[in-house]
Amino acid sequence: MEKQQGKKVSFLYLNEKDMIEAGVLDMPECVEVTEEVFRLLGSGDYLMGGPLCNEHGQMLWFPKESPFANMPVAGPDRRFMAMIAYLGGRFNVCGEKWYGSNIENPLKRGLPRSILMVMLNNAVTAEPLALMSGNLISAMRTGAVPGVAAKYLARKGADTAAIIGTGVISRACLLAICAGVPGIRTVKLYDIREEQMERFEKDMAEKLSVTFRRCSSLEEAVRGADVISVATSGAKAAEIREEWLREEALVELTGIADITPELYMKSTIVADNWKMHRSWMTEGDEHPDGIESILSWAPSAPVIRLVLGGRVRHEDIQSLGDIVGGTPFVRKPGAPVMFITGGMPVEDVAWGYTVYQNARKRGIGQELLLWDSPHWF
């Protein structure tokens, strides 16, 4: 049998400007796509890394001290990670988000905290489809998840949201929450930096028809809010107290928060995908510092500790994909809802693929050649 001639392979490169032109900032569409992702999670039509197909990603753990002059050492939010996934349904595509993160970047280097790239590949042949700037993909899909969660988990008649931490991710979270809960009319803001709140309000007031209130304390922001979105990073976590929360308030943890074990145990706990969070338990067991090793960046770490201590059972924690897929949401009467999201590569793949398709239709981006014919074939 005669061997086939080697096939030409090229892929689309999309820089950040291209991504914006192709619609990466379209939050209503991103929320719809993300809701579709959770429906696929509920049906099981996806794969992520590891033998159980539910790992968040593979991370480089920097040492606390290093004998090598050039090797980075551990610091707040300092990591590199490769996040891989296959997503089925109409997507039927494989992809990877690759990123590095250093909390010192904005203040010391004029760079975002995280710098990300997304790669998409044909799920059958492995041919590259696109290489694209990933920062906006990641920010949008991170924000879209709380929007989907609010649609399914917020109490009926919710009209007030609290935004704790007014950085980039909170911008995306608020847009998504307002898309998921169109009844939001008042948005309370809290950040330790007044100027950051001012910038946030000015930017978001151009996009949303809501009333903004800048709060002087965390308590003021949380009290009376139906949906509380926490998207903060750094060494000190935002403290959320039980007595501040109204009945059936939804607390969405995109960043870490200081919440007592007793409050978690009284609450209804929902995760984006608890199977993924369970994989972090294994990572914590294997790390020299144990479960403490993930406390600085994993929103679910306090709940994992409760599970390991026998105070919360795995079966007590619901997954959003199951709820979106049709499993009834079981709420403890009158109790707050704690929604914990760790971010999943299936979300990056879905939104990246959507923007890639838009770019193809609109002729956006630069076609790059991998080869005319493979040298070894």
The number of folded domains in the chain is 2
* Same-domain check for residues 166 and 308: yes
Token pair 């950085």 is found at: 167
pLDDT tens string 141-186: 999 999 999 999 999 999 999 999 998 899 999 999 999 999 999 9
Predicted structure pTM score: 0.92
Percent of the chain with pLDDT over 90: 79
Which residues partner with 11 through β-bridges?
368
Banded pLDDT at 233 (limits 50, 70, 90):
low
* Same-domain check for residues 241 and 330: yes
pLDDT for 113? 86
Strands 79-87 and 93-101 turn out to be antiparallel
pLDDT for 296? 62
Asked, for residue 124, whether it belongs to a domain, the answer is yes
Asked, for residue 377, whether it belongs to a domain, the answer is no
Token pair 């020299």 is found at: 288
pLDDT tens string 75-86: 877 889 999 999
Contacts of 112 (CB under 8 A, 6+ apart): 105, 106, 135, 168
Task: Look at residue 189 and tell me whether its pLDDT is greater than 80.
Answer: yes
Mean pLDDT of 9-28: 97
pLDDT for 88? 98
* Same-domain check for residues 214 and 278: yes
* Same-domain check for residues 317 and 357: no
Residue 126 structural domain? 9-138+346-371
Strands 160-164 and 227-230 turn out to be parallel
pLDDT tens string 335-347: 999 999 999 999 9
User: What is the domain-level CATH number for residue 240?
Assistant: 3.40.50.720
* Same-domain check for residues 333 and 294: yes
pLDDT for 377? 81
Helices (H) and strands (E) in the chain, counts: 12, 18
**Measuring CA to CA, which residue among 200, 206, 176 is closest to residue 188?**
200
**Beta carbons of 170 and 163 less than 8 angstroms apart:** yes
* Same-domain check for residues 179 and 253: yes
* Same-domain check for residues 76 and 207: no
Asked, for residue 226, whether it belongs to a domain, the answer is yes
Mean pLDDT of 245-259: 93
The three-point CA angle 60-285-304 to 5° equals 100
* Same-domain check for residues 77 and 163: no
The encoded tokens of residue 256 equal 């870490």
The pLDDT mean for the chain works out to 93
pLDDT tens string 265-324: 999 999 999 999 988 887 777 777 777 777 666 778 889 889 989 999 999 999 999 999
* Same-domain check for residues 266 and 168: yes
- What does the CA dihedral 306, 321, 329, 183 come to, rounded to 10 degrees? 110
Q: What is the CA radius of gyration of the chain?
A: 21
Asked, for residue 148, whether it belongs to a domain, the answer is no
Asked, for residue 89, whether it belongs to a domain, the answer is yes
Mean pLDDT is lowest, of 52-56, 121-125, 367-371, for: 52-56
* Same-domain check for residues 289 and 362: no
* Same-domain check for residues 53 and 166: no
